[in-house]
A and B are shown apart, each in its own frame.
Chain A
């Protein structure tokens, strides 16, 4: 070894001597089209490896052999340029490269790839496309931007979780959301409230790479069945330090108001309903002597109670409770600072951010402070080390779930005849208000949820020999969350117990290490081979604790230290781990034929010893047809690639860490502990397996000004993990087993076009549209139906239908003769007025058929306009609150205005049954409360103006941009509720979709921003 070194050194020394004696010096400066210096440009003598890079001021100096004639200047983002060595000074101007999306680098698991060489399906969304979108959860910024990626916020509460489905739902009981990987590390998603994803600042993100098909995702094996979202944070580039400041301020409003009865209408409808119910009982309460004991008396007594100090007979009070649920002054404030730069050896990106977003609902706000430092250092020419470190603190003021009396929009149920306050100025509560007055939540309840998040990793890359790199990553993700709650004696939770307090703590830690080799080589110019081989280990652990107490001396002392009685407390912990080995090889022949093979072996603590390890293979191939001689000279078609993939991925998330074991848990009685059986054992429990085939065509026309992708996929999931109902006489209600199968198939279309590419005016569009059909293929054995009609919702599982379809009675309108609500019998033709006799039908599907987005970007000189339309078609929504708010005055809840169209006399033709107080005329869950949920929405609109250079130069800054950004400005829908983008949070799940229950409409916002670069 030493001899070899000596020999090499000698040879090298001799060579240098030789070159030195024969060389001359060339210097110069590299600038861009605007004249600004460009740093980090590679300057190489053509045909040799002699070269250097430009410094921060764009200058270079190089000794070149006497024989050299040409220098090659290249840099990412610029067109490569060759210059003759005409003398000792060679200055050069580089033009910005006209890159098509095909040349872009996409992130794949444990590596990168050029898009045109891909054989799998990966959608990339650049951070710059969604920068400054004022949303707390980055997923909301992705809505409508990628084919096959369905994004839906449960409601318009700020800082909550967002549902993501990549190519449909694959699972009934396990997780259906993708795996999130930040800078190579799969992250925690647990939390006691809210979503762990809101800890990440959108503006720190360089790109989202969404792995959709099995060949792209299978490198993540058992974690990848629902797709993988790879998030890469911004990295520094060598060169001048760039400092960026972004400030935004904006206003938030609900997308829609839904109207309810006013006081006069309320009194009219309920009086009519009471009389109708009396007539059913055979008495006319308007006849003297019949009034006592009548429904009419009952209702009018209630009116008097609800009207408080006012007189309901003359409409003295007319309260619009809905408007009181909203915060009229809701604002958003955002400040971002970032700096990036570095030199040849060390590069950095640093950022700090503060964002404060108030919700549209009273008492709802979300605040985040975050910082990030990403560093990279070339220690030697072989060794690169670095770290990516993000820190954040979020504080959320949450409102309760949609089914809590405290959730602000439940105030719509209160009677319009009820005044907000009594004559002393105190808020009314029950029994004057029909239900709890949600306005107490403003002053009588304190609620805050604080999270600290540390998401970081260290890495090293070591070049072993040419083409072979060893990479090691160690990631650590630590979450600390604390939720504090206090309800005063006037609040719902504190009433009767003199105040109620709760404090909850949660810590989630996750460490992960990836160690792998990347090898790439080119053989005889025609064979490109690369391979990745490695292992990963990940361990999650979580600890949580809570304590609650009651009886507080005064409202100001609302920590549990002051509680008169501690009524409960608990702590618990859980862990799980994954051990994985993976291998991937890619082969490219002649730049035309592509082949990729990958396999991953995953072991997990979540499965029984017999089924602990799973193998997840994938294979894919591509043929770049446009490289063939018969197409190579086409003027029109510039790129054409056919690709296909097949693979198996698994799903191990979302059903607990110990589901395979037979368990007994703790119980409590008479202040002593007890033990009770909680779970039946299933030692055979194993992964859900998803097998996906994808066929795709990538194309580019007119030098790739028009490019696109078409994909067809079929995804079959089997061994679904499902809590099968078992006979309750066993002492258990369900058991977790692998049963059944589900299928998703669909199409995706992507079209990107540069419509106009003028000198001043530019217009480009990108369009995506996807269709997905979901089908439950089989359930437990011969079982074909797991009905879901619980009286309020109807999400069911039916073989041959999509997951969670609404299955229940079909409403047949109103009997014109007597005003009875009617439903169809099983035959689908005959009608009945008895809900229990009604037949069951599939009356709606919460899964959309089509989703899509159309984004346009226009620029003229310094002005830029981009706007995104996003749409969802073919799904239905069920209003679970229909049985309360649209019942024809069945109980005292205020009613939707459509109830005024009720049947009143024989012959009336209407869909609204006769109003009957307490006699439930048509109030059961049925298609009556199912609506079309399709919509198109102007999701985002961004208008910006870049101040001209003459101005920025005077101000001594490099760039300045002012902009206005709108979110959800317009919505086009037939849905009668608040907002068609809805799935009530208290029950949202795989099967429980498409339901509305006093859910807040989405946030419509306008923000004004200023962006300065130094």
Chain B
């Protein structure tokens, strides 16, 4: 009898001892509550937000790429095998385009991270609180701005109080409920939110902040927002502030403004002296899909998906030193093949989002349009860039077209293409500046997942 009792006891013991073995926690993730529980953690979340906006689908390249493909106008050609960018280049975009889908999802993921930071701002050390809050507002405003330019009719198309903007979400998501189904606001409401976020950011941010957003970054972004809204006073003043913060300098030769990397530079803060705001890229983290598509296999990119056509090169004065950046290459070969833009030549290079040179040209354009000379005269500003970058003799006089051409060449293939074309009401590839074809579709996935509360853009 004894042995039955022994076996039965062993059996029951083994069974009950196992019960607590069912409590297992993950080792690579932490729970929501602890992620936002301390000063250190919230700051880690902030670094995570920069990682999010640096994704290849966002300012890590696709947003800039799409802007340039939209604005191709016979000056560049998409030659790669990927259909998704090709659809943008062709202005015939499917609502299922997976690049567009990722862009939308990841931008809102970055917005959600910013909202999380703002919701937990009270646990941040008082000394750093303004900075952290400013950075969160900067990131959120920046994402809404980049999205509204691509997914909505341009501000210049008018009807801003009826044209659809973006769904505006300002609270972090903890669960999916009715509040998660947010309809699109108007273009005007979206711009109001962007101005609010970026203005707060400029107020709250410190003047220096390593490679992260500083006052100057917010001011530079604000100048772009005002320019889109054709608010030239706002644009002029913001650009002037950006210049007068004095954090960046214009370098010669022009090539030094690009392909900066941490490996070449020891001081992170001046990886490229012209970058007002950049996405940090290294072999360890970050992605640069401008490099991936514009460069060639020899430099660790694809075979050369975007080529620059003669029509673009013909725009330059033959003596313009900025031409030196272009090179011929395909696959593993350099020296022959289609023309490439050397701004995106090398692997693991930081990706400039906004450079100081743009501020001079924005100030020049706005001053010119307003007949003012805040900071400097338009001629002084334009000649400064010509001298330092194009290395051309100064102009004696100039008109608006001169300023706009200078801007186009200076910022070529950096992601401003379609945004400038739209605000200047230009026609590209036969499409009017406010054509449906120049606006990305809201991803089909999003229309369905939102139970169609999010309305599709016209023409899709």
How many residues of B sit at the interface, in one of the four size bands? 35 or more
Are B45 and A725 within 8 A (Cβ)?
no
Q: How many angstroms between the C-alpha atoms of A431 and B80 in the bound complex?
A: 12
- B254-269, CB under 8 A of A: which get 1 and which 0? 0000000010000010
Q: How many angstroms between the C-alpha atoms of A679 and B108 in the bound complex?
A: 14
Which B residues, 37 to 52, have Cβ-Cβ distances below 8 Å to chain A?
41, 44-52
Please pick, from B112, B284, B303, the residue contacting A668 in the complex, using a CB distance under 8 A. B284
**Chain B residues whose C-beta falls within 8 Å of the C-beta of A610 in the assembled complex:** none
A537 within 8 A of B: yes
**Chain B residues whose C-beta falls within 8 Å of the C-beta of A679 in the assembled complex:** 29
Are B116 and A674 within 8 A (Cβ)?
no
Please pick, from A550, A730, A789, A836, the residue contacting B112 in the complex, using a CB distance under 8 A. A730
Please pick, from A495, A665, A671, the residue contacting B282 in the complex, using a CB distance under 8 A. A671
Q: Which of A657, A676, A789 has the most CB of B within 10 A?
A: A676
**Chain B residues whose C-beta falls within 8 Å of the C-beta of A181 in the assembled complex:** none
Give the Cβ gap from A999 to chain B, nearest Cβ, in Å: 19
Q: How many angstroms between the C-alpha atoms of A785 and B50 in the bound complex?
A: 36
A576 within 8 A of B: yes
**Chain B residues whose C-beta falls within 8 Å of the C-beta of A924 in the assembled complex:** 94
Q: A496-B300, A730-B108 are in contact. Are A662 and B446 (CB under 8 A)?
A: no
Binds B, one of A202-210, A444-452, A566-574, A760-768: A566-574
**Chain B residues whose C-beta falls within 8 Å of the C-beta of A681 in the assembled complex:** 32, 174-175
- B345-372, CB under 8 A of A: which get 1 and which 0? 0010000000000000000000000000
Are B113 and A727 within 8 A (Cβ)?
no
Are B22 and A731 within 8 A (Cβ)?
no
Are B169 and A729 within 8 A (Cβ)?
yes
Please pick, from A663, A664, A666, A669, the residue contacting B54 in the complex, using a CB distance under 8 A. A669
**Chain B residues whose C-beta falls within 8 Å of the C-beta of A572 in the assembled complex:** 27-28
**Chain B residues whose C-beta falls within 8 Å of the C-beta of A575 in the assembled complex:** 24
Are A727 and B182 within 8 A (Cβ)?
yes
Please pick, from A581, A657, A669, A675, the residue contacting B26 in the complex, using a CB distance under 8 A. A657
Are A430 and B332 within 8 A (Cβ)?
yes
B396 within 8 A of A: no
Are B108 and A725 within 8 A (Cβ)?
no
Of all chain B residues, the one with the shortest Cβ separation from A893 is: B81
Give the Cβ gap from B351 to chain A, nearest Cβ, in Å: 12
Q: A495-B297, A671-B285 are in contact. Are A663 and B113 (CB under 8 A)?
A: no
Are B446 and A728 within 8 A (Cβ)?
yes
B67 within 8 A of A: no
Are A726 and B35 within 8 A (Cβ)?
no
Are B24 and A657 within 8 A (Cβ)?
yes
Are A791 and B97 within 8 A (Cβ)?
yes
Give the Cβ gap from B34 to chain A, nearest Cβ, in Å: 8
Please pick, from B30, B169, B175, the residue contacting A680 in the complex, using a CB distance under 8 A. B175
Please pick, from A565, A658, A730, A790, the residue contacting B169 in the complex, using a CB distance under 8 A. A730
Are A727 and B28 within 8 A (Cβ)?
no
Of all chain A residues, the one with the shortest Cβ separation from B45 is: A675
Q: A430-B303, A670-B285, A735-B176 are in contact. Are A662 and B31 (CB under 8 A)?
A: yes
Q: How many A residues touch B, CB cutoff 8 Å? A: 79
B290 within 8 A of A: no
Please pick, from A496, A665, A667, A669, the residue contacting B301 in the complex, using a CB distance under 8 A. A496
Please pick, from B81, B111, B113, the residue contacting A676 in the complex, using a CB distance under 8 A. B113
Are B283 and A677 within 8 A (Cβ)?
no
Are A663 and B30 within 8 A (Cβ)?
yes
Are A791 and B298 within 8 A (Cβ)?
no
Give the Cβ gap from B40 to chain A, nearest Cβ, in Å: 10
Are B11 and A662 within 8 A (Cβ)?
no
Q: Which of A674, A727, A786, A789 has the most CB of B within 10 A?
A: A727
Are B30 and A664 within 8 A (Cβ)?
yes
**Chain A residues whose C-beta falls within 8 Å of the C-beta of B445 in the assembled complex:** 725, 728, 733
B158 within 8 A of A: no
Q: A535-B11, A605-B22, A728-B449 are in contact. Are A667 and B27 (CB under 8 A)?
A: no
A787 within 8 A of B: yes
Which B residues, 418 to 460, have Cβ-Cβ distances below 8 Å to chain A?
443-446, 448-450, 453-454, 460
Are A730 and B98 within 8 A (Cβ)?
no
Q: How many angstroms between the C-alpha atoms of A383 and B108 in the bound complex?
A: 66
Are B32 and A664 within 8 A (Cβ)?
yes
Give the Cβ gap from B219 to chain A, nearest Cβ, in Å: 22
**Chain B residues whose C-beta falls within 8 Å of the C-beta of A665 in the assembled complex:** 28-29
Give the Cβ gap from A729 to chain B, nearest Cβ, in Å: 5
- A879-918, CB under 8 A of B: which get 1 and which 0? 0000110000001000000000000000000000000000
A545 within 8 A of B: no
Please pick, from A603, A680, A727, A787, the residue contacting B446 in the complex, using a CB distance under 8 A. A727
**Chain A residues whose C-beta falls within 8 Å of the C-beta of B24 in the assembled complex:** 575-577, 605, 657
**Chain A residues whose C-beta falls within 8 Å of the C-beta of B286 in the assembled complex:** 669-670
Give the Cβ gap from B143 to chain A, nearest Cβ, in Å: 11
B83 within 8 A of A: yes
Please pick, from A462, A515, A567, A669, the residue contacting B51 in the complex, using a CB distance under 8 A. A669
Which B residues, 306 to 343, have Cβ-Cβ distances below 8 Å to chain A?
330-333, 337
A678 within 8 A of B: yes
**Chain A residues whose C-beta falls within 8 Å of the C-beta of B208 in the assembled complex:** none
B126 within 8 A of A: no
Q: Which of B15, B104, B262 has the most CB of A within 10 A?
A: B15
B384 within 8 A of A: no
8 tightest Cβ-Cβ pairs between the two chains A and B: A731-B112, A496-B300, A430-B331, A674-B48, A674-B47, A431-B330, A431-B331, A669-B51
Name 10 extra pairs, CB < 8 A, besides A676-B109, A731-B169: A470-B7, A535-B11, A572-B28, A577-B18, A577-B24, A664-B34, A671-B262, A671-B285, A727-B180, A733-B449
| A-to-B contact residues, CB < 8 Å | 1, 305, 429-432, 435, 462, 464, 470, 495-497, 513, 515, 535, 537, 539, 550, 565, 567-568, 572-577, 579, 581, 603-605, 612, 657-658, 661-681, 725-733, 735, 785-787, 789-791, 835-836, 883-884, 891, 924
A to B CB contacts below 8 Å, 19 in the list: A429-B331, A464-B3, A535-B11, A568-B284, A579-B21, A664-B45, A668-B285, A669-B280, A670-B268, A674-B46, A675-B44, A675-B47, A677-B109, A677-B116, A727-B167, A727-B446, A729-B180, A729-B450, A731-B115
